[in-house]
């Protein structure tokens, strides 16, 4: 594959950087929130994303019939990496997970209702897959969906149960949720539904993470969901979720923040001294930084490989060809390597900087203003979200290497 961008892609990257320069705002861009900086959880962040929508960038890869530009996935990659590099909100859930799944599997009514709102950033979604006993194994979800019929109102489902680790539930309007509609079939017994989060049967309790960010547990008490809010076919939800997770694993863990943190540590080593001796002259530190720089380049190229594979699938689908599957293995390889690299980088920063690395983020006289300690806390979360490292290893082993399930 060609790792160089085309003239058109470089021009787009330059345009994006100019746009970000013109809209620079510390209330929108915050590198110290690490990967959680991508969520659109404040009025200013929503307004900024609406400006992206007006530029036509939220639907840059969508089909023209749904308001998109039918651009290749590499343009979405360039945009997301530029946003992530500044600690800004990103285009993940609405455009990618929900929007692309609705385009592929949603009814005409759902497309007409939600796709225009997504392109204008007039709606925020929370994603409800994880449960107390179904974290990385989405197929194990048990949120109970009971079928009901009516001679008066629309037929539908009654939901009872619990979801957890739903990051956006406290500010989003709609819940993209998987429910157990067939308890006899693990993988072909889940259905995707759209549920308003202001439903009286829904209660939301905050959970604060070690990264100082809020996630939530969500309780369902006789929540009615009409058939018109069901996404795609009944009991086919796990297949849709699996396809969307490939995108989530890639877009949630962009390369730009890793590079930014590595550059920060490299600059610290270049200028700092310990006991009068420059850190850059320490052979152990030099070796460790060289290894991190090498690993970072590997992560960058793995990301480009995913984009290239995803573009192949997009082009094949547009041409009407069959037999092409999402780049699941490549996605898991990138997610596993990138998030574990983030942990190694955080460990290195704590070791190299020494006791001062434990000072809290934004401490002005701390080395690197305390970024080491916040990065150390956040990167643990990164190896769990979107499927833990253990799950990624299983996917690579079974789907990539062809190993048996119980190897």
As annotated, the active-site residues are 248
Q: Which two tokens stand for residue 248?
A: 């989530």
Q: Which two tokens stand for residue 138?
A: 């989405």
DSSP 154-195: --EEEEEEEEE--TTTTT-SEEEEEEES-TT-STTSEEEEEE
Q: Which two tokens stand for residue 284?
A: 């152990």
Q: Which two tokens stand for residue 166?
A: 């739903």
How many whole angstroms separate alpha carbon 69 and alpha carbon 65? 9
How many whole angstroms separate alpha carbon 255 and alpha carbon 303? 7
Q: Are strands 125-128 and 174-180 parallel, antiparallel or unpaired?
A: parallel
What are the Cα distances from residue 154, in Å, to 83, 143, 310, 323, 367?
Answer: 42, 21, 39, 37, 61
């Amino acid at each position: 594959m060609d790792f160089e961008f085309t003239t058109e892609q470089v021009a787009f990257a330059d345009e994006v950087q100019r746009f970000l320069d013109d809209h620079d705002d510390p209330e929108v861009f915050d590198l110290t929130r690490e990967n959680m900086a991508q969520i659109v959880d404040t009025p200013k962040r929503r307004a900024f994303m609406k400006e992206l929508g007006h530029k036509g960038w939220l639907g840059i890869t969508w089909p023209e019939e749904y308001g998109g530009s039918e651009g290749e996935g590499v343009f979405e990659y360039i945009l997301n990496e530029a946003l992530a590099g500044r600690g800004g909100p990103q285009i993940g859930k609405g455009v990618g997970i929900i929007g692309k799944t609705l385009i592929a599997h949603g009814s005409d009514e759902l497309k007409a209702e939600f796709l225009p709102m997504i392109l204008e950033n007039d709606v925020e979604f929370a994603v409800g897959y994880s449960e107390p006993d179904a974290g990385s194994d989405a197929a194990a979800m048990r949120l109970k969906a009971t079928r009901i019929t009516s001679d008066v109102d629309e037929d539908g489902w009654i939901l009872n149960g619990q979801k957890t680790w739903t990051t956006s539930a406290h500010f989003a309007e709609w819940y993209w949720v998987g429910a157990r509609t067939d308890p006899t079939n693990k993988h072909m017994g889940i259905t995707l539904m759209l549920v308003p989060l202001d439903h009286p049967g829904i209660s939301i309790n905050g959970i604060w993470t070690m990264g100082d960010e809020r996630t939530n547990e969500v309780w369902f008490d006789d929540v009615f969901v009409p058939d018109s809010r069901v996404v795609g076919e009944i009991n086919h939800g796990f297949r849709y979720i699996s396809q969307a997770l490939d995108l989530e694993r890639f877009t949630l863990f962009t390369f730009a923040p890793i590079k930014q943190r590595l550059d920060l540590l490299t600059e610290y080593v270049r200028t700092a001294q310990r006991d009068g001796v420059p850190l850059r002259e320490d052979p152990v530190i030099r070796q460790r930084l060289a290894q991190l720089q090498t690993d970072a380049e590997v992560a960058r190229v793995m990301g480009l490989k995913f984009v290239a594979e995803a573009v192949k699938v997009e082009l094949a689908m547009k041409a009407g060809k069959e037999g092409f599957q999402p780049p699941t293995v490549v996605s898991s390889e990138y997610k596993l390597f990138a998030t574990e690299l983030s942990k190694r980088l955080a460990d290195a920063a704590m070791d190299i900087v020494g006791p001062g690395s434990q000072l809290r983020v934004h401490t002005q006289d701390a080395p690197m203003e305390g970024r080491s300690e916040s990065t150390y806390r956040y990167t643990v979360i990164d190896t769990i979200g979107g499927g833990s490292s253990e799950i990624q290893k299983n996917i690579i082993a079974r789907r990539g290497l062809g190993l048996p399930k119980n190897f």
